[in-house]
Structure 1
């Protein structure tokens, strides 16, 4: 019998949300809005500080190169988060969640299980997605948000740092992701793991971690509180 976790730490892309939403909606939106955003807000201290972290004489070219490569670098993710913020706040963007996600998150939270997010997207982007989701404002359910400032998602030290910051022992934390290498790193740090293998995203099961097709299966497998 698997020990019931006290904290569920979840990835976003491919786990709570369709990969297509990020790849085909959020990323193109940020790319299309980049020039106009920098022209309007590039001199603001927050934006200027992000741009100062971008190397090279042509920072826009560097940013576009990172976008094309889907680079997991903090300056890009921070800037994308600010661009997405405008879209979420004026209604052009709405955070996609699989239909099974919000009911389970609410049930787990109501049952005393802490919830947190660890994604390569910036903390601000994470909060925008869950705060303006197609299932309503879910921000009150979460006690923690973590991004690449904690370290790479394929590095065990990142998960150890999150455990230390959360105040929970690694063995009491369940990490949910569709990416096998992220789960490998979490397991190496002592966390419980579960790979989300969602049919709509064509994720391939790695066979090294417990698997679930959706959040209700996670609920059953790990003894989490049931939806009412």
Structure 2
């Protein structure tokens, strides 16, 4: 098999950049490296870590089929491609435009942030915010952005008034348990809900939980089963039980309400503004609520400020664990892939949840909202009245 012909030497401003085979230049390894370096540059820019690349990112194209002296170095937009030869003396400082032909050949967009794809990131920021991003990028390590990489939000009393949950969602679920179970009784989803409820009720009966009543077997008849389940669900809602069996069924009932437009979720006015700002700054936002993940998606997909799910990266519910247990927040930390728990900021209105999250190493703030319950004295946490204070 004939060897690939060598590509002609390339020069910029009279300086020889190096030679490489055309096959290596167009190889999958070279293409993947170009994509990788472009992704890194975009990621660093979005994080506010660099206002420009300045040729500061370089990755070697590793290819087993090309001799090392001919292997390429891919550099960010104010650099170029060269073989790993001694760096020549440059008669003048090169500009990104000097290397335009090289990056055009490689399919890399070298346009500046003001007129290129990075403009999409800037478009969501005001002038003051842009200046802050640049200051953080240019400052010392102590001046780097101290803001955590990820934000985890509670819902009730944090993003949403407690009154919406207690006076709208819970009553809607309680009033529609029988209708929902009757209309969907034979659906696999509802049958799974019934199995979870049966198991929970049996456990409640063994522990002597108030309000628990036996659920008859299926052969007792559909209506008898539904009536007993409805009685148990009503008692669970009244006691504000944070259990998966209840939350799963509630989510399915609320889905019907949101789809029929009988329900519309309420979030505080500062919430969409803060979500948009955090999203523009490259922060990842998650929800952790005792409500099911389905219920969480329904709430943020149908708010008085429109669909806010575009600003959210994921949802955690009681399958992670109880919100007042430290192990739940350890599980969230291990799921998010950050270097340390303090890279996560948790916002809640409940001091016991705040304590559990702090014990896991998370940064914590307590949300003060109208209708929230009183906090213990000397709780030791920073409090906020609006997300815009962050």
TM-score, length of structure 1 as denominator length? 0.92
Match for residue 282 of structure 2?
112
State the secondary structure of the residue aligned to 1:8: strand
- Alignment of 1:190 with 2:361, yes or no, is yes
Higher helix proportion, which one? 1
Q: Which deviations, in whole Å up to 9, do the C-alpha atoms of 1:143-195 show, x marking residues without a partner?
A: 11000000000000000101111112311000000000000000000000000
* Contact kept? 2:157, 2:372, Cα under 8 Å: no
Q: List aligned pairs for 1:102-181, cutoff 5 A.
A: 102-168=272-338, 169-181=340-352
Q: CA RMSD in A?
A: 1.4
Q: Which deviations, in whole Å up to 9, do the C-alpha atoms of 1:86-113 show, x marking residues without a partner?
A: 1111111111000011110111011110
**Distance apart, 1:35 and its partner CA:** 0.7
State the secondary structure of the residue aligned to 2:190: helix
Tell me the distance in 1 between the aligned counterparts of 2:333 and 2:190. Answer: 30
Equivalent of 2:196 in 53, 77, 89: 53
Match for residue 156 of structure 2?
13
State the secondary structure of the residue aligned to 1:70: coil
Structure 2 unmatched runs, 5+: 1-141, 202-213, 216-227
Match for residue 22 of structure 1?
165
* Runs of 4+ with deviation above 4 angstroms: none
Say which is worse superposed, 203-212 or 162-171, in terms of deviation.
203-212
State the secondary structure of the residue aligned to 1:136: coil
Q: Which deviations, in whole Å up to 9, do the C-alpha atoms of 1:55-78 show, x marking residues without a partner?
A: 232333221211111111101101
* Contact kept? 1:197, 1:204, Cα under 8 Å: no
**Distance apart, 1:41 and its partner CA:** 0.6
- Alignment of 1:37 with 2:180, yes or no, is yes
Tell me the distance in 2 between the aligned counterparts of 1:72 and 1:30. Answer: 15
State the secondary structure of the residue aligned to 1:115: strand
Match for residue 260 of structure 2?
90
Query: How many corresponding residue pairs?
Result: 217
* Contact kept? 1:7, 1:172, Cα under 8 Å: yes
TM-score, length of structure 2 as denominator length? 0.54
Say which is worse superposed, 8-17 or 133-142, in terms of deviation.
133-142
